[in-house]
Amino acid sequence: MKDMMPNFNLLQPTDVASAVSMLADAGENGWAMAGGQDSLDWFKDRIKRPTTVVDLSGIASLSGIRETADGVEIGAMTTLTDVENNAIIKEKYGLLSTAAGRVASPQIRNKGTLGGNISQDARCWYYRSGLDCYRAGGNTCYADTPEGMNREHCLFAASRCVAVTPSDTAVALVTLDASMVIQNASGEQVVAAADYFVGPDIDIENMTVLKPGDILTAIRIPAAWANATFYFEKVADRNTWDFPLVNIASAIKLNGSTIEDIRITCGAVECVPKRLNVVEDIVRGSERNEDTATLAAGAAARGAAPLNYNHFKIPLMENLVKRAIRG
């Protein structure tokens, strides 16, 4: 039955209020669809079976990039290509522009959205194959077994599930101290990017705080880190159309050669984007040089608990931290 979608009602609202109402009526059986890159795969594999799909692509207010008094606001339906090429983002928040340009392939970036990229589900193949793992409501983690294939899985904070966040833009947004704007039938709420992503110890069946009926409408980036010294790097098995083995994003405020402040986040090593607070504390106030970078790298993987096949992620992570600090 692969590639045969089950039937569902497709609704295409033109405003957020109508979309919120439709999702509220659908309840647990509703599905909010952005670019559809992830959603349609779920439907074709018949693993996700919503009865109502609300297509958000016709809501003009959910797209676009706007400068504000406090920074910039990006509509959640803005394509990754538009984020990558936008003049404001490239000039002031180049970290996000670079990260968006490393997602998948040009064709996918032309259709995929920023909101969809940060809200996509886990890419663990056991879960994606429809097995009854913990994340799917079962009582087993097939990846975390002696025979399990876990090369791409986590180093930190495993709690039954060992899947990692697959998003490239998520690490950039956490580093930039972004906030997510969510609307539902109860109104609007704003959630810090660091709190938007949730680990399996909090909610093993979801990777974000989004619940049925919620719509991510915008991403707000404060001006505090505008024009900082940025670094983004992604290591994957292929240069395009692939998810990260490890990625890293950093923003540094320099006073001469001294690191006055820093935010650094690593992806694909934990279920959520991992802020490297220990690294930040080590280098803050230090000279930006090889010695500082080496010292930071040595502390980057502190507390890591590798699985059978992903020990290589530790030196990979350490080297990416060194490169981010060194520049």
What CA–CA distances, in Å, run from 195 to 111, 173, 179, 198, 269? 27, 12, 9, 7, 17
Tell me, which fold does domain 60-119+170-224 have in CATH?
3.30.465
**CA count, 13 A, side-chain hemisphere, 287:** 3
Ordered alpha helix ranges (H), the chain: 16-26, 39-44, 80-85, 87-92, 94-100, 106-111, 114-119, 125-128, 169-175, 193-196, 277-283, 290-300, 313-326
The pTM (predicted TM-score) of the whole model is 0.97
Q: What are phi and psi of 228, to 5 degrees?
A: -70, 175
Which parts of the chain register pLDDT below 50? Answer: none
The domain limits of the chain are 9-58, 60-119+170-224, 225-326
Which CATH number describes the domain made up of 225-326?
3.30.390.50
Integer Rg of the chain from CA = 20
pLDDT tens readout for residues 37-66: 899 989 988 889 999 999 999 999 999 999
Instruction: Give the model's pLDDT for residue 114.
Output: 98
- Please give the structure tokens belonging to residue 119: 């809200």
Instruction: Give the model's pLDDT for residue 46.
Output: 81
Instruction: Give the model's pLDDT for residue 6.
Output: 87
* Amino acid type, 295: L
**CATH 3.40.50.740 corresponds to the domain 9-58:** no
pLDDT tens readout for residues 177-204: 999 999 999 999 999 999 999 999 999 9
Q: Which of 216, 206, 134, 136 is nearest to 169 (CA)?
A: 216
Instruction: Give the model's pLDDT for residue 174.
Output: 98
